[in-house]
A and B are shown apart, each in its own frame.
Chain A
Amino acid sequence: MNYNEMFKDKNKLEGIAAASGISIAKAFLYTKEVETIKDEPIVNIEEAKKNLIEAIEKSKKELRKIFNLAIDKLGEKRESIFEAQVMILEDQYLLDAIFKRLELEKRSPEFIVHDEITKYQNVLNSSVEDYLKERANDIGDIKNRLIKNLKNKQWKSRITSDVIVVADSITPADTVLFTRVNVKGYITSFGGLTSHAAIIARSLNIPAVLGVHDATSKIKNDDLLILDGIHGRIIINPDQEQLDYYDNKIKMLNQYDNELIKLKDEKAITTDGIEIKINANLDIEEELPFLIQNGASGIGLLRTEQFFNVLENIPDEELQILHYKKISQALYPDSITIRTFDIGGDKFLPYDVKEPNPMLGWRGIRFLLDHPQLLKTQIRAILHASLNSNIQFMIPMVSSTKEIIQTKRYIDECKLELRDSNIPFDEEIRFGVMIEIPSASLLIKEFSKYVDYFSVGTNDLIQYLLACDRGNEIVNQLYQEFHPAILRALDFMVREANSVNKPISICGEMASDKFAIPFLIGIGFTSLSMNAASIPYTKKIIRNLSFNKCKTLAKDCLSLSDENEILSRIENFYKENVQQDIDNIFN
């Protein structure tokens, strides 16, 4: 049977192939909606009590984190709301009532919490005054937080065997939690290639198909699934023939991967001798062995914001130092580029701030400069960990020289503080900026007076240049890597950086796009940073390419003004130059 015959049946779903690989496992439906509160009888009351206490403590911790960060920015009114929410979690009168009911009624804690707190909300909601309805929402927030934490504990204990997680959407925090259990794949109804679920799935080599409409209504718990992350397809309850077909393909893929991994210690060098540095992006520590095994020449982008998600709190200086040192030592003598917290936008924001345009709002270096304590703690920790001299420092979401100068002032302050305390650090630590805002891409020459290197973040740059929200399904087809304006901007940046002799690398998803790589090399990028899973394949591609041919390809593409023309030019080039594509396995 060939690949297309596999899919003529009705038991299939399609979505975006977000992380490569194939998994066969049972479905685990992950729903977070509060409406799904179940009124179930419980047997083990002590365990239920223990879970409730833990959920209360966890909620308090989360709120305190918000509270600590919120104080200077959100004003007195919201500050007092957070304080009141923490007090609700310590309200003896309320807690006594809940625990008493738990013992007497022997019903699930989330039901009792919901029922008990909703009573108070109802009193306020029956009022006509808007501010009282708002207060009902504040009480509702704390209820939902508590229930979420109760449920989080339960689903974790429910996953006992290998599963494929099926959800409407998955937050970065969810993804991190799932890495702690046996997750064999992700399927979501929403989200695309550059969503954080996709990025983490790829870097951990967990197959994922995202943007599958109706995934959560068509797939039932414990359905057996074939998840094909290469083509973005799913088979629900496959027949024997389909299973055999995929079992065979999994074997072939393993073989293929084993071949690729042999390139681990080989350089990514073109047929005419140009060497390209292949670095890895790192989100969470769990990826470390994987990226070393895949032969990364260093870490081009260490995203530190995952720290928030793992710890669910702001990591203190000591913890950060340990973390950075550990990675620095594991990679030594290769270099690692640590990017400061990129909090905000569609990423984890430790506030309940509702911004009308979060992607154009309070995120990246803007957020950090408004929280000098947070920024300085991180700078000190990075300096402290820099003794091996293989750490570089980088800031996200820069839009002006002013932000660079302000950040450098904080770096100088931190250096002084460390010297005063006789703490040794790398005096020559290199400082770079992410280029992901269009204004920054035009100011490379100006920036070069203050920084040592540039790193282009294509995911954000593309959506800002094209004014297209990658998470908005109505317009996300406009998000085009190969839009002529994107190619020209990239070319412009490389030329600008070369003219001032500053290194420039690329660390967005584009760096690991098999079709984009020849173009990127052709315009002069000599350093790519990508998810670790893509490294062996990228090396293989580059070892098939001639730099001269890539240059010609780049020149051709830059002269074209239609993205479809560019795409077909780029795809043809790929087919002509790279053999033994993964697609051959599915012929």
Chain B
Amino acid sequence: MIEKKVKIVNRAGLHVRPAANLVKLSAKYKSDFFIFREGMEINGKSIIGVMTLVAAQGTELVLKFDGVDEKNAMEEIVDFFERGFDEL
């Protein structure tokens, strides 16, 4: 199990398009993927969950990965957050 703190950096925040891409990205991995925000826990592989995650620019989130390929999953997904979902 790995935990990693990330920050939303793009202006539009985690809106529908990056939410869809995030779910598609996490689906590539076997590991479980959860997102925590202020006591709220979301399954990162569930689009409807991620869509309800209110995350504007500047919001801090904790990502949790658990499974055989957790390291690779963490690296790719954290990178996606750091790239501002390719909207910078």
Q: Which positions in A face B, CB cutoff 8 Å?
A: 76-77, 80-81, 83-84, 87-88, 91-94, 117, 120, 123-124, 127, 129, 131-132, 135, 138-139
| Total A-B contacts with CB atoms under 8 angstroms apart | 54
Q: Which among A120, A127, A129, A131 is the interface contact of B48 at CB below 8 angstroms?
A: A120
Min CB distance, B85 to chain A, in Å? 12
Bound Cα distance from A277 to B17, whole angstroms: 57
Specify which chain A residues have a CB less than 8 angstroms from the CB of B17 in the assembled complex.
76-77, 80
A83 touching B20, Cβ below 8 Å:
yes
The yes or no answer to B47 lying at the interface (CB within 8 A) is: yes
Q: Which positions in B face A, CB cutoff 8 Å?
A: 15-17, 19-20, 23, 43, 45-49, 51-52, 54
Can you list 15 pairs linking A and B with CB atoms under 8 Å apart?
A: A76-B17, A83-B20, A87-B20, A87-B47, A88-B48, A91-B48, A93-B43, A94-B46, A123-B54, A124-B51, A127-B54, A132-B54, A135-B16, A138-B16, A138-B51
A84 touching B54, Cβ below 8 Å:
no
Q: Secondary structure of the B side of the interface?
A: helix
Bound Cα distance from A81 to B43, whole angstroms: 20
Given contacts A76-B17, A135-B16, A138-B16, contact A84 B51 (CB under 8 A): yes
Bound Cα distance from A83 to B45, whole angstroms: 15
Specify which chain B residues have a CB less than 8 angstroms from the CB of A123 in the assembled complex.
52, 54
Min CB distance, A170 to chain B, in Å? 32
Min CB distance, B15 to chain A, in Å? 8
Bound Cα distance from A77 to B12, whole angstroms: 12
Q: Secondary structure of the A side of the interface?
A: helix
Min CB distance, B54 to chain A, in Å? 6
B16 touching A120, Cβ below 8 Å:
no
Given contacts A80-B17, A84-B19, contact A93 B54 (CB under 8 A): no
Specify which chain A residues have a CB less than 8 angstroms from the CB of B49 in the assembled complex.
91, 93-94, 120
A91 touching B47, Cβ below 8 Å:
yes
Bound Cα distance from A80 to B48, whole angstroms: 14
Min CB distance, B23 to chain A, in Å? 6
Specify which chain A residues have a CB less than 8 angstroms from the CB of B54 in the assembled complex.
123-124, 127, 129, 132
- Which of B45, B46, B51, B52 has the most chain A CB atoms inside 10 A of its CB? B51
Specify which chain A residues have a CB less than 8 angstroms from the CB of B43 in the assembled complex.
93
Specify which chain A residues have a CB less than 8 angstroms from the CB of B45 in the assembled complex.
92-93
B48 touching A94, Cβ below 8 Å:
yes
Other A-B pairs beyond A87-B20, A123-B54, 14, CB < 8 Å: A77-B16, A77-B17, A80-B20, A84-B16, A87-B23, A88-B47, A91-B46, A93-B46, A94-B46, A123-B52, A124-B51, A127-B54, A135-B51, A139-B48
